[in-house]
A and B are shown apart, each in its own frame.
Chain A
Amino acid sequence: MKRLQLTEIVRPQLLALACILLLNWFVFPGFFTITWQDGRLFGSLIDVINRGAPVAILAIGMTAIIATRGVDLSVGAVMAVAGAVAATAAVAGQPLVVTLIAALLVGLLCGLWNGSLVAFLGMQPFVATLVLMVAGRGVAQLITEGSIVTFSDPALIFVGTGSLLGLPMPAVIALALMLAAHLVMRRTAMGLFVEAIGTNRSAASYTGLRTRTVILTLYAFGGLCAALAGVIAAADIRGADANNAGLWLELDAILAVVIGGTSLLGGRFSIPMSVLGAVIIQAMNTGILVSGLPPEFNLIVKASVIILILVMQSDRIGEIVARRFARLKLRGKT
């Protein structure tokens, strides 16, 4: 019973991913080739999970926020801030632990700021997080003084480019975070609280839920995820690029969550599905890169595929398909 339901939910997204991967294979036959090189796996598929990791991490934090009918537009800017803090700390010769703690703490503070505006001042999440989206990048630029702060701390660089068991570190981190977040949501009551608040906030408070505390916690976690993604992005290029780090990634993260099936109107959510959404987006990006299409087509291809996925997911299309199938089955019987 339980397993059947899971496959029911997963189907359109997995189908979409399979289609995109097949399409990639079609335009580039070497897409599925994976080799072992310098103690790590090497190939386009590995690129997909490696490059998709920052958006996946953002999406992990964003999922529960969106499930409460919120949104966090500031994650891209928080990435830049955290990257700038990490780079500055690394340049100052701080050990990795200190660098990481500093960056994550900054992300946590950003998240608490957003959460306070939303939960306690009752600001609309869109507006509340827009503040930090704009201001955050400015703060990052102040920290880096407008230039790219490069560092050479091998420990920090390992976070972005190293590998564990042959898998790229960013992907390993994203996977671990996904499992941890999923377990916390489903093994504690948090997931139920989030879905209750997202479904009907008024009813949730009548029920005696601490709606504000829950919302604050979610935004704080979102900030933490953004900081982690920011550290990875900075470590990947060995430098903090305040102007470009995480630029527009909040939109990719929201898209990943939506592709994963969490409604912007709140309610049900699934963190692993959002990660799958991020992988779908990145599979598309990587596909475009290896396809040899001129860059002018990037956005058109991306938009078309996304529309296709969302249409596949829509309830109405699902009903139509189900009805067709039912009819076919009937015909098969008679």
Chain B
Amino acid sequence: MKILRTLALGASMIAICCTAASAAGLTVGFSQIGSESGWRAAETSVTKQEAEKRGITLKFADAQQKQENQIKAIRGFIAQGVNAILVAPVVATGWEQVLGEAKDAKIPVILLDRGIDASKDLYLTSVASDQVKEGSVAGDWLVKTVGDKPCRVVELQGTVGSTPAINRKKGFEEAIAGHKNISIARSQTGDFTRSKGKEVMEGFLKAENGGKNICAMYAHNDDMAVGAIQAIKDAGLKPGKDILVVSIDAVPDIFQAMAAGEANATVELTPNMAGPAFDALDAYLKSGKQPEKFIITQSKLYTPADDPKGEYERRKGLGY
């Protein structure tokens, strides 16, 4: 009897210690989609860094692009009794059951990077970037840079029909909407890849009088921009001068191009989704403060004035 009571007491004390403390000492499960892109890899390493900074024990599970693996991982986290779960959901549907289980176990769930089609009370908050904003930041930069001069823009879209491609196109178009001097002359998909970016840009250059009619190139991601920069150089033009280069993501290689004067601007899609998530979690566990349902990360503009060499060095170790 006595032993039993001691045990119970001990258990409750551990429980008290953990709920009462700040983020330090928490155990958080993180179900990541996989490592399908450099950005994804960077998100994983930044999440690990952010957890370490805050003294959080991070349990990491790579789902290898499969929802069933994510569901398995989340169930595992629940069974282990983690304090919170981060999920970067691979698809939007099919989460009610497993998130309901987490809710029943009173474990808060935070979505990273992508949303889901499910009741909002199944998760504490969702941390994501505003893709339309990213496009409009890029557009605003171009508007400011070219001023009143006429400017024909070529656009390298992401994969046709993908959400980021639609949103980044929309934001950019909104930003240049009021400015008659700026027009999108050509727009094609480069599938978010370097090689297709290069190939499409080659076609654009031929079709636009060897590139002499092009004033700026807007790419939905930096990888395509890097490919396009090579195509511009092969055509005997100077990227960054003859043709302005603006893109989105802020991956290390674009900073290298920027440092070489070959790229003009990039809008950051921060891989640090976990930082704001941990902050919200901390506030929630400490004081019960309900965070905003949708936390939007900052879409920061980087130009050659922002120490591109330094940015490259800072980022290159993140796994991009």
Residues of A within 8 A of B (CB): 28, 30-31, 35, 37-38, 42-44, 47, 51, 141, 145-148, 150, 161, 233, 236-239, 241, 243-245, 247, 285-286, 288-290, 292, 294-296, 298
Minimal beta-carbon separation of A106 from chain B (angstroms): 20
Pair A147/B187 contact, Cβ less than 8 Å: no
Q: How far is the CA of A28 from the CA of B230 in the complex (A)?
A: 23
Given contacts A147-B38, A237-B227, A238-B230, contact A295 B236 (CB under 8 A): no
Contact call A236/B206, Cβ cutoff below 8 A: no
Between A28, A35, A237, the greatest number of chain B beta carbons within 10 A of the residue's beta carbon is seen for A237
Stretch at the interface among B23-31, B145-153, B190-198: B190-198
Which of B160, B192, B196, B206 has the most chain A CB atoms inside 10 A of its CB? B206
Cβ contacts A to B, 21 pairs, < 8 Å: A37-B236, A42-B236, A47-B203, A51-B199, A146-B35, A146-B37, A148-B253, A148-B320, A150-B253, A233-B195, A236-B195, A237-B195, A237-B230, A241-B194, A241-B195, A243-B37, A289-B207, A290-B204, A290-B206, A292-B207, A295-B188
Q: Contacting A290 at CB < 8 Å: which of B160, B192, B207, B319?
A: B207
| Complex contacts, B230 vs chain A, CB 8 Å | 161, 237-238
Q: Do B227 and A161 have beta carbons less than 8 Å apart?
A: no
Cross-interface CB contact of B202 among A31, A47, A141, cutoff 8 Å:
A47
In the assembly, what is the distance between CA of A154 and CA of B283, in Å? Answer: 53
A146 to B320 alpha-carbon distance, docked (Å)? 8
Give CA–CA (A298, B193) in the complex, Å: 17
A290 touching B203, Cβ below 8 Å: yes
Taking CB atoms, residues of chain B closer than 8 Å to A233 are: 195
Q: Is the CB of B189 within 8 A of A298?
A: yes
Residues of chain B within 8 A of A296, CB atoms compared: 160
Q: Which of chain A's residues have a CB closer than 8 A to the CB of B210?
A: 35
The answer to whether B319 touches A30 (Cβ under 8 A) is no
Give the number of chain B interface residues (Cβ < 8 Å).
38
Query: Do A289 and B203 form a contact, CB below 8 Å, given A145-B319, A295-B160?
Result: yes
Residues of B within 8 A of A150 (CB): 253
Q: Beyond the given A145-B319, A161-B230, A241-B195, please list 12 additional residue pairs across the A-B interface where CB-CB is below 8 A.
A: A30-B209, A37-B236, A43-B206, A51-B202, A146-B38, A148-B253, A236-B195, A238-B230, A244-B192, A289-B204, A292-B186, A295-B189
List residues of chain B with CB within 8 A of the CB of A31: 206
Bound: A146/B38 CA distance, A: 6
**A298 neighbours in B (Cβ, 8 Å):** 160, 188-189
Q: Which residue of B lies closest to A287 (CB)?
A: B203
Q: Tell me whether A30 and B206 are in contact (CB under 8 A).
A: yes
Q: Which of A38, A148, A294 contacts B187 (CB 8 A)?
A: A294
* Neighbouring A residues of B227 by C-beta, 8 Å: 237
Chain B, residues 248-265, CB within 8 Å of chain A (1/0): the string is 000001000000000000
A35 to B209, CA, bound (A): 12
Neighbouring A residues of B234 by C-beta, 8 Å? 161
Residues of chain A with a CB closer than 8 A to B41's CB: 145-147
A-B contact count (CB 8 A): 95
Top 10 closest A-B pairs, CB basis?
A289-B203, A146-B35, A295-B189, A244-B193, A146-B41, A290-B207, A147-B38, A237-B194, A44-B206, A290-B203
Which residues of B from 152 to 203 have beta carbons under 8 Å from A?
157, 160, 186-189, 191-196, 198-200, 202-203
Are B198 and A146 in contact, with the CB atoms below 8 A?
A: no
Closest beta carbon of chain A to B116's beta carbon, Å: 24
B117 proximal to A (CB < 8 A): no
Bound Cα distance from A288 to B230, whole angstroms: 21
Q: Report whether B199 and A244 are in contact in the complex, using a CB–CB cutoff of 8 Å.
A: no
Which chain B residue shows the least CB distance to A247?
A: B193
Complex Cα gap A89–B191 (Å):
27
A37 to B211, CA, bound (A): 14
Least CB separation from B157: chain A residue: A295
B8 within 8 A of A: no
Partner pick for A286 among B186, B198, B203, CB 8 A cutoff: B203
B113 adjacent to chain A (CB < 8 Å):
no
CA distance A237 to B230 in the complex (A): 8
Compute how far the CA of A148 lies from the CA of B195 in the bound complex, rounded to whole angstroms.
12
Given contacts A146-B35, A239-B194, contact A289 B236 (CB under 8 A): no
Contacts of A285 in B (CB 8 A): 199
**Are B198 and A237 within 8 A (Cβ)?**
yes
CB within 8 Å of A: which B236-281 residues: 236, 253
A122 CB → nearest B CB, Å = 30
Question: Taking the complex as formed, is B133 at the interface, i.e. its CB lies under 8 A from any CB of chain A?
Answer: no
- The CA-CA distance from A237 to B235 in the complex, in Å, is 15
Of B38, B188, B198, B235, which contacts A148 at CB under 8 A? B38
The residues in B between 17 and 69 inclusive whose CB is less than 8 angstroms from any CB of A are 35-38, 40-41
Q: A42-B235, A237-B230 are in contact. Are A148 and B194 (CB under 8 A)?
A: yes
